[in-house]
Structure formats: structure tokens, C-alpha cells
Structure 1
């Protein structure tokens, strides 16, 4: 029993120290008077000179004061009567006395219950000083009346015994706190606790957060918006008026020196396309039959791709080189290579519409063999024309 009492006292002290540092809110009510009936049970081992005490009862009066919503103190007086059995005479009698003391109370959130602890001076027959801890609750009966319920245990450190009590009664709270009027520092009609713009100039219309209204949601407040009905999504200037940008390149028309910029390309501060230099190149090789200068498949995909490249980069030119295999005379092979180059040029001009001035032909005969072996495969790859187009061009830089 002694261990339980000491543990409860230590727990209450720790809880009190922590909670007192955290709570400073205004209480619901500041004071109360209470009147209660008490059942008091004495420790069977409580020593007396000539007998023992048994259970008893009393009437308790208390006055309490709440410092914060969580913390309070009270003074309590109890008119106490304990049953007494004498060791000398037979039968039992009762002895009247009193118990006076003070308590510190800690109310849990929403007044769910409270813990208390304090010191009592009990004078019934013999006087003794008791420490007490307990738990209680003020039950709401009405706005002006609460029901008191408490359980407490008492410890006499001098004689080393423990009593306990149960108390039921009523309390009358008074002195309710009056909440302070909410402040509105900038006088805009929105209290400071909800005002996200606490320095709004006088006369400016604000929304529920206390900030100046922007009806067209263009990012320019109504107080300075000279075009307050701008359609949603329109880019506006500092005055809230639409910025015209016909090619949507990010440069307003008034400053755009290139108003028809293609979509998706980077532009400079004047609205003109930013170009990068890029090297472009394509190489084509076409094979011929033995002793033939005829282009067998003029619509071959590789030939078509070469022609499209020439059209895409109209500033380029090309040199068509004719070649032959080793067999045959040097003069014959030179003539054959020149005819092969010329015939391929005709295909480019007549079939694909490439300007003839962009194409030059030259024959090398057997002087530039790809494969110097003397076999059918080497002869096959050497019977050819080859052409390479390479140029440095400017291309728009993409965003």
C-alpha cells in the first residue's frame, strides 16, 4: 500500500511539472464552491492510545480557483466523524473532528477528469498531518451546477498508515472567462488570425483571407488592374492588360522583328529564330553490270533518298565519280566510267528534278579500285559510281 501511494504521488508530480510548463490557456471558469458528502475509511493498523478507529463520514466544503484551463488549487474543510472502539469499555462510539487542507488540481483536456494532490491536517481525537493524492471529475449537470465525484488516499508519514475516502457532491462554478474580441489590425474586415495579408491598404476590397481581390485571376490585383476582365489564360502586363504575341514565341508583337517565327524554335530578344550550324552529309554508291553504263534501278530507295537530300539542302552541289573494274584497256575503261557518271546525272535531272548546274561528273576509269583482287566479286564492286554531298548549314535551334 505504501509503495502504491508513493508511486501515485511521484507520477502526479512529474505530470504536473510537464503540463504546467505547456499550458497557459484561459480556463472555462475561474472559481467554484463545492459541498460534498464523504465516506472515510481508516487503516486497521492506525495506532491509537486506547482503541481503534473504524469507518466514518463527513461533510466537505471547498473553494477552488483555476489559474489556467488545466491548473487549479483549492482549500477544503471537512466536518469529519469517525467510529471509535475503545480498548477499555465495550461497544463503539463516534468522535467528531475536522480535516482541513489544500490541493493542487490538474484537469485533463476537455475536463475529462482531474488529478489532485495536497496536504491535510486531521483533528479527530488525535491530530495528524496527512499527504493525499486522488482522482476526480466534475460532471456537468447544467450550465451552473456540476456534480463532484472523487476518490482519494491519505498517508501519514509519521505513523506510516494509509486511509482512503470517496466523495460525492455538487459545485457551483462562477467567474467565467470572457473571450477577447478578435483583432483586425488593418481594418479590412478579416480578423488577424485569418488575415494572410495583414497590411492591406485602407479601402482595398479583400477576399476571405484578407488579400486584395483579383477577379479575372490574371495575377494583377484589382486595385491596379486597368483591364479587370481579361479572359482566362491570357498573358498580361503589369497593368493587367493583354500582351499580344501573334506567333506565340514569348516576344510581344510591339518588340517582335520576326512576327512569323515557326512554332517550337528558340528566338532571341527580338523574336527572331536562333540558328545552329550543322554539318550534313550523304554518300551514295550505285553498281553497274559488266561493260554497262545503264542505271538499272533508278527508283531504288537509296537513290530516292539521295535526291530528297539534294532538295532539302538546295545550296549543296555534288561531284558524281565514275569507276570501272580492272579488265579492259585503260582508254576503254576511262570512257565507260565517264558514261556511267553522265547517265547517273541524267537520272537525277530528268527523273528527280535536280538542277544540272549542281551536278558535276568525272571519270576515273580503273585508277581507283575498291578491291584490287582479280576475281568476280572484286570486279563487281569496282563497277560503280559514287557521290558524296557534304555541307555546313544553319538549322533552327529547338526549344
Structure 2
């Protein structure tokens, strides 16, 4: 084990001085390598004739996650057989999982190998390595590994150096500019600028409030259209709440600075639609709710309680197999069961909930399969409300 300790120390020392050049998810590589392979003479048993040797090999690797990769490796070994006065040829084939430390300072790998020298043995290996970038697509590979045979306790050591060619990783995506104003979405403070509009570095109209003062100089950037302004873009006359409307014309004093205002200085509101869905599946030929404590029921009830002026329709559906009239009846029973649960357990006013069965008239999947039938045996409900919210600057 002294050999592997020395090799590991060298690799760790070099890794701390290496420039960070991490690989990326999707990288692939092919590599050729040479190695020094040392067998465990003390544990090999009689006849004890295998010594150290060398090998040449190749590997293919794929980085499927930012920190994780896998590879297949093959090596042709030439091992000294000192007691016989000759060399023994052999091979090693197997798979490794590889974990790359931050910035690819080094990687830890482990796997299973089938090694054939004198006999065929299954070995488990663990090691350390590093990919050293020498060109855009080329990397030098350095590794040290320990191999263990669980059956006889043999411990072998391998040290290898190789050259890898990397490929397959796509180029980074170009920054997106959804409104085509020349400013990337990540920097665009006005993401829906009209086509052809001249914009500033933030992607906004150079005079967004059309008061004749450029945004870069406008101290009152949301002055209502038509308001007379000074050289700072602020309404002529006193404007105590700073909303761009002079106090003499401001019918809503002390408007929050974050609010967008209209021509008379009042906050602008818009109607925002909000909705909540309920979807419950049933067993075959059943209208029994198997999970009445499903959190989806409570979420649906909370939404209806928050918006008391809303109503909803519970829609029951069945799968295709069976008699049409029976399926219609069964779907109605399912809808009625959910309506009753929402009324009795979750406290929703019965007048706000209507239950309708549709039988097999609205199939989601027309295939005659177990999965399709399970999908079609369902309850759906939707409730929508309008929510009045302020428009911010």
C-alpha cells in the first residue's frame, strides 16, 4: 500500500495547484492510456510467480450530471512472471462511476473489473484521478487505483497516464431577447416594448411617460400623459406625494410611491383572474371516495371560502366499458359523492355547488386499456374568481 499512498499524495499536491477548468453536463470523451500495474505477490498464493507489469488501454466516458460521470475501460496487460522467466499477457475490462469534486480539482471513482492474467478474477476498484486541460478538446488523464479481489483478498495497484479527446457538449444558449429590442431578457426592465421602439440600456422607451424628458433625466418617470412638466420630468407645481401629478390636480393625496397612477393621481387597479382546480380519480365501478382527507379537498374549499361569490360545477366521468346508461348513473353518483363531502366535511354552502354526471361522453383517453380506463374514471371541478390588484410602477 506504500506505492498507492505515494501516488495519491503526488496527485493531491498537483490538484491543489491546477487551474479550474470544470467540464459540463453532456461532455463525452474517448482516451488512450498507458499504465503501471503491480500485483499483490504476498497474497497471490502458490504458485507465486506474478510480479509487476505494464498495460495499454482505452476508455469511453460520459458526464450525465454536472458532478457525475460513468465510463467503460479496457486494458491489455503485460505482467512479469519472474519465477517462470517469462511474461504473462492479460486484460482488464469493466465500468467505473466517477464523482468530480468542485471545479474538477480531482475525481473519485469506483467500479467493477474483470481481470484475466493467470486466471479470470472479478476485482472491485477505488481510486483518485484528474483531467488536466491542455487544449480546448484535449485533456491529460492521471489516475491511481487500488484493486481488491473479495474472494482471495488480493490487492493490486495501478497507476495510469493517458490523453483524452472531449466532445458532445453543446454550446451555451444565446441570451434571449423576447421583444427584440436589443436588450437581453435578464436585463430588460420593460420586457414587452413595442416593435421599433427606441430603448435605453434597461430595455425601456427612452421617454417612457412621453413627457419630453428622457428616462435617464426623468425624476418623475410615470407622469400621466398630457401633464406639463419641468426639466426634471415632474409636473409643474407642488407634488407632495411624488406621483407626477401636481397637488392642485391630485385627487388622491399620499399615493404610495410604488403605485402607478392615472391623470388625477389615483392608483391604477386591474382585474386579475385566479382559479383553483380539483381532480379526483375513482376505483373501477365505484363511487366511494377512498381518500376524503386528501389535502386537495381542503385547498379547494379554502379557495371557495376566500371568494364567497363564486360557484362551481362538480363534473363526474366514467370509463368506456359497460352500459352507457349505467355509466351515466355511476358518473352522477361520483359527482354527488364529492359534492356531499365538500358540503358536510368542508363546510361549503350546498347552493354554491352543482353536481353533473357525464358518463363516458368526455373520455380523456379512448384506448381500451387499464391505464386509460383509470384515467377516465374521474371528478373534475374548477372555480374562477376576479381579484382586484394594484398596478405597480
TM-score normalized by the length of structure 1: 0.49
Q: Tell me which structure has the larger Cα radius of gyration.
A: 1
TM-score (norm 2): 0.49
